[in-house]
Every structure is written in structure tokens, then in C-alpha cells.
Amino acid sequence: MLELTMTKYEKILMKNNFTDKTIDLFFWNQECWWCCKSHANCLHHILGRVSTSPLNAAPLNNFECHIGNGKLTQDKYITMLLKKTYDYLKKDGYTLTKQDKEFIQKYNKYFTFIK
């Protein structure tokens, strides 16, 4: 039987409207930010498909931690994922764009951790 395999990059591109630049920022990250296991294979839109900002992206395992996980819509978990994303990007030397700053301003209730 022929087994079709896809690279992580190809899997992330499926059904996803993040830019290539955003996908590249998370490409080498293997950690699922929900369970902390090393099996992330998708980028979750933390606040829904309201923005393609990297701040709205969280690497997760699609089947074990993403699909059907209603907790992802709860404010405390949204804030947790946004903080993890923010910290990850800043640690990696990422500079916030105008789009990122507008995203933070629009959803400021979740970004109380920024000083």
C-alpha cells in the first residue's frame, strides 16, 4: 500500500489563511501549546479568523488538542495562548507590525499581560 506523507509545512497550509511569513515564524516549533507535547501540526486562530497576525496563531495538535476542544473559546485559555504566542515571538526577536499593534489594541482585554 502506498503511504502518502506530507511535510509539517504542507499540513499547516491546509485550510489555513495565515501568511507564509506567519507560518515560517512557527515552522520549527514542535510543541503543542495546549498539552505541551512535541506533536504540533496545525496553527490555531486563537480569536478565530479575525486576523492573520502571528499574534493570533497558536501551534496545536489538530486532532488531540484542537478539533472539538471547546475550552479554546474560554477567555482564560484565549489569554493563555495569546501570552504564549507573544512571549514566543518576542523571545525570537520578532518586531510587532502595524497589523499586530492594531490587533492588540482591538483585543486589548486579552493583552493585559503586556506592560
Residue 89 lies in a domain: yes
Q: What is the pLDDT of residue 110?
A: 97
Number of domains in the chain: 1
> Comparing C-alpha atoms, which of 22, 44, 43, 47 is closest to residue 109?
47
Whether the per-residue pLDDT at 89 is higher than 70: the answer is yes
What mean pLDDT value characterizes the chain?
A: 88
Domain of residue 68, residue span: 10-110
> Is position 1 within any domain?
no
Asked if residue 4 belongs to a domain, the reply is: no
Structural domain contains residue 2: no
Whether 3 is covered by a domain: the verdict is no
User: 100 in a domain, yes or no?
Assistant: yes
Mean pLDDT computed over 63-85? 94
Above pLDDT 70, what percent of the chain? 86
Q: Cell 507564509, residue?
A: 20
pLDDT, tens digit (0-9, with 9 covering 90-100), for 5-51: 555 555 544 456 888 899 999 989 999 999 999 999 999 999 999 99
* DSSP secondary structure letter of residue 1: -
Strands 57-60 and 42-45: antiparallel
pTM here is: 0.84
Contact 55, 43 (CB under 8 A): no
C-alpha to C-alpha distance for 36 and 5, rounded to whole angstroms: 24
